[in-house]
Amino acid sequence: MINLLYCIVVLIITRCLLAEAVSVNPLPKPRSIQWGYVGPIYLHRSFTFFRQPNPILEAAVERTLNLIWSEQWKPRVIVQSESPNYPPFPINLTKRTDDDNIRLLTAISIDVKDFSVHLQHGVDESYTLDIFSDRIGTITSKTVWGALHALQTLNQIVISDGNGGLIIEKTVHIEDAPLYPHRGLLLDTARNFYPVSDLLKTIDALAWSKMNVFHWHIVDSQSWPLQLKSYPQMTGDAYSNNEIYSQSDVQQVIDYGRLRGVRILPEFDMPGHARAGYRQIDPDIVSCGDSWWSNDEWPYHTAVEPTPGQLDIINQKTYKVVNNIISEVTSIFTEKFFHAGFDELNQNCYNYSKYVSEWFKENPNATYPDLAQYFLDRVYPMIKATNKRIVMWEDVFLSPDFPAKDVPKDVILQSWNEGVNNTKKITAAGYDVIVSSADFLYLDCGFGGWISNDPRYNQNLNNGAAIGDFNWGGTGGSWCAPYKTWQRIYDYDIDYTLTDIEKKHVLGAEAALWSEQSDSVVLDSKVWPRTAALAELLWSGNKDMSGRKRYREMAQRINEYRERLVARGVGAAPLQPKWCYKNPHACDFFRNETVPDYNLQ
Ligand SMILES: *[C@@H]1O[C@H](CO)[C@@H](O)[C@H](O)[C@H]1NC(C)=O
Ligand SMILES: *[C@@H]1O[C@H](CO)[C@@H](O)[C@H](O)[C@H]1NC(C)=O
Ligand SMILES: *[C@@H]1O[C@H](CO)[C@@H](O)[C@H](O)[C@H]1NC(C)=O
Ligand SMILES: *[C@@H]1O[C@H](CO)[C@@H](O)[C@H](O)[C@H]1NC(C)=O
Ligand SMILES: *[C@@H]1O[C@H](CO)[C@@H](O)[C@H](O)[C@H]1NC(C)=O
């Protein structure tokens, strides 16, 4: 009754908002999308965009036109999205719903207020998109970056009429903006290498999903695939001459991202996770690089995975090298954030350093946190001098055995342990945080342990028979098992238990693909479509207007989006038997749409 009254009132003013008789279901769901009742609206054969001259917009418009005409998208399963009814009913797309007057959309006019705004953290990404029945459509945005998102939405609401024509099903009014400014994916290109084409394809899919950060974990202790002018010998530790990112490759990735509104955030992990490359400059700046990582006696392990290596914190040559590398890479990457790693420092590793041993002798009261602080005190000002905002893993602050003592409050901490507990600790202490909780957002989890010569597997017992042996047991065999399903990701409330002040410190989140067991062959299927669940979580959230989690409707949306990714050449994994997809909600656990949440929190 209230809905009906609302509809009548609204109808008088503008249009009736009740009917959502459309089949498209864009992902991420816009913050506000109001379908009208008039349609379909046909795109004129010479449909175009009126726009101000600007190379970024120009390129985006061209991509959009190419895509909508070549894709000729037909929603794979035609259902009424967000139907209040159950089950949903089919709609005949080719049937005109109103009268026989063909409504033609000849153009969309794009109005960007300010083209001078750089792509950086916190930039305004909002837009409005209007499709009217009797005149040209409009896109308005404060920045070109908002206009790019508008075009992605348009890409998803234009569909085939089945006869070579394109339609938008109804008039529509969209007002949209992201909930979080930092929406990213981490890709590790050091444990295994990915060709540049993989990076570009991934950036494309991020942009389609309105994600805006590609966190490039370029190097690690195993390989150094990045060509530098200051130390060209470092690529002696690339996997081969074909597995190197040249300076022009890197520039291509940065430019490609920028044209699509995706920032390339580089990470140079230090002082831990450092061996490859550095030892080509001088083995003396790497500690424990030749030790046996597990020592065959775990209490004495020098790294959590092979191969070990940490920058020598006391050898002063380290700082000359680090300074040269920082000044070169910060000039290559225009991105304002710089990720300096600082995760997983291991105490035993420094037993292999004569410099550190000597320093501990000279400073008998010094602790490992003093040692970590020593490094931070030298490297922090080097990065500050380049005008970058520093990002580090939470370990620099929260590591139980090797944190620094005093981390400046302007360092952004990226959280990966203990779920919301650590997010809470970090924000309560006044730091900004990027959430990458392994229990929810690590895409590499659940594929089993990868260490070889591992006797823990040599047991003829059923899963769960030996409690605590996580390496082979029922939890899936990797330290962060099990596999994170799209639902696990989508339902994660990244600011759960945070106060309003703490919530303000949450910049956003990143999914992460660490690449011990990934390379080009499995990249797409591990990243997609699960990262799209995070994309929506960060763009418009996981709840409907009533505050209820909308995982039920999201199932249909992400299935459809997966089909679209595949059609666009991204090998996204299937989520369900096709039968479920073709019979929307037939594979739901509960038929009842409003079944109470378990609320396990
Ligand atoms: C859909 O509409 C087309 C054109 O009006 C018609 O030929 C076709 O039979 C309709 N299909 C169904 C299932 O109603
Ligand atoms: C490293 O040195 C510390 C302090 O002397 C000692 O407790 C620890 O066992 C040593 N670790 C290794 C791997 O030798
Ligand atoms: C080390 O600690 C001891 C005991 O607290 C103290 O007496 C001593 O002065 C300290 N030495 C230095 C060099 O700080
Ligand atoms: C978070 O803290 C609570 C309360 O101390 C604890 O019960 C829970 O296990 C912690 N969660 C994680 C993921 O560590
Ligand atoms: C669905 O579940 C809700 C909440 O328990 C309940 O109020 C409602 O009656 C149920 N609807 C049906 C059709 O069973």
Task: Check pLDDT > 60 for residue 403.
Answer: yes
pLDDT value of residue 94 = 45
Give residues (CB < 6 A) around ligand 2: 300, 348, 351
Query: How far apart are the CA of 95 and the centre of ligand 1, in A?
Result: 6
Q: How confident is the model at residue 93 (pLDDT cuts 50, 70, 90)?
A: very low
Provide DSSP, 388-415.
PEEEEETHHHH-SSS--S---TTSEEEE
Helix (H, G, I), strand (E, B) or coil at 248: helix
pLDDT value of residue 398 = 98
User: Cα(310)–Cα(272) distance, rounded to whole angstroms?
Assistant: 4
Nearest residue by C-alpha to atom 12 in ligand 1: 92
Query: How far apart are the CA of 364 and the centre of ligand 3, in A?
Result: 8
The mean of the pLDDT values for the chain is: 90
pLDDT value of residue 98 = 47
Tell me the per-residue pLDDT of 284-306, one tens digit each, with 9 for 90 and over: 999 999 999 999 999 999 999 99
Q: How confident is the model at residue 83 (pLDDT cuts 50, 70, 90)?
A: very low
- H-type alpha helices, 163-316: 196-208, 247-259, 278-281
Nearest residue by C-alpha to atom 12 in ligand 4: 418
pLDDT value of residue 82 = 46
Tell me the per-residue pLDDT of 17-75, one tens digit each, with 9 for 90 and over: 444 457 889 999 999 999 988 888 999 999 999 999 999 999 999 999 999 999 999 98
Q: Give the up-direction half-sphere exposure of residue 518: CA atoms within 13 A in the CB hemisphere.
A: 23
Active-site residue, selected from the candidate residues 344, 418, 553, 593: 344
Helix (H, G, I), strand (E, B) or coil at 369: helix
Tell me the per-residue pLDDT of 329-384, one tens digit each, with 9 for 90 and over: 999 999 999 999 999 999 999 999 999 999 999 999 999 999 999 999 999 999 99
pLDDT value of residue 472 = 52
User: Cα(243)–Cα(219) distance, rounded to whole angstroms?
Assistant: 12
Tell me the per-residue pLDDT of 462-500, one tens digit each, with 9 for 90 and over: 766 655 555 554 455 678 888 999 999 999 999 999 999
Q: How confident is the model at residue 460 (pLDDT cuts 50, 70, 90)?
A: confident
CA-closest candidate to residue 179, choices 114, 113, 125: 125
pLDDT value of residue 592 = 83
pLDDT value of residue 470 = 53
Provide DSSP, 63-80.
HHHHHHHHH----SS---
To 5 degrees, how large is the angle CA 138–CA 142–CA 143? Answer: 100
Nearest residue by C-alpha to atom 11 in ligand 1: 92
Task: Check pLDDT > 70 for residue 593.
Answer: yes
User: Cα(22)–Cα(216) distance, rounded to whole angstroms?
Assistant: 38
For the CA of 295, the closest atom of ligand 2 is 13
Q: What are the residues whose beta carbons fall under 8 Å from the beta carbon of 483, sequence distance 6 or more?
A: 445, 446, 447, 476
Neighbours of 214 (CB within 10 A): 26
Whose atoms come closest to the Cα of 365: which ligand? 3
Give residues (CB < 6 A) around ligand 5: 592, 594-596
Tell me the per-residue pLDDT of 498-546, one tens digit each, with 9 for 90 and over: 999 999 999 999 999 999 999 999 999 999 999 999 999 999 999 998 8
Give residues (CB < 6 A) around ligand 1: 92, 94-95
Single-letter residue type at 411:
V
Annotation marks residue 344 as catalytic: yes
Q: Residue 287 belongs to what H/E stretch?
A: strand 286-287
Q: What is the DSSP letter of 101?
A: P
Q: Please give the average per-residue pLDDT across 435-443, as a whole number.
A: 98
pLDDT value of residue 90 = 41
Provide DSSP, 5-43.
HHHHHHHHHS---S--------SSPPSEEEE-S---EEE
Query: How far apart are the CA of 366 and the centre of ligand 3, in A?
Result: 10
Provide DSSP, 462-508.
-TTSSTT-TTTSTT-SSTT-S---HHHHHT--TTTT--HHHHTTEEE
Tell me the per-residue pLDDT of 214-240, one tens digit each, with 9 for 90 and over: 999 999 999 999 999 999 999 999 999
For the CA of 347, the closest atom of ligand 2 is 1
Q: How confident is the model at residue 246 (pLDDT cuts 50, 70, 90)?
A: very high
Percent of the chain at pLDDT > 90 equals 78
Give residues (CB < 6 A) around ligand 4: 418-419, 421
pLDDT value of residue 77 = 67
Task: Check pLDDT > 50 for residue 600.
Answer: no
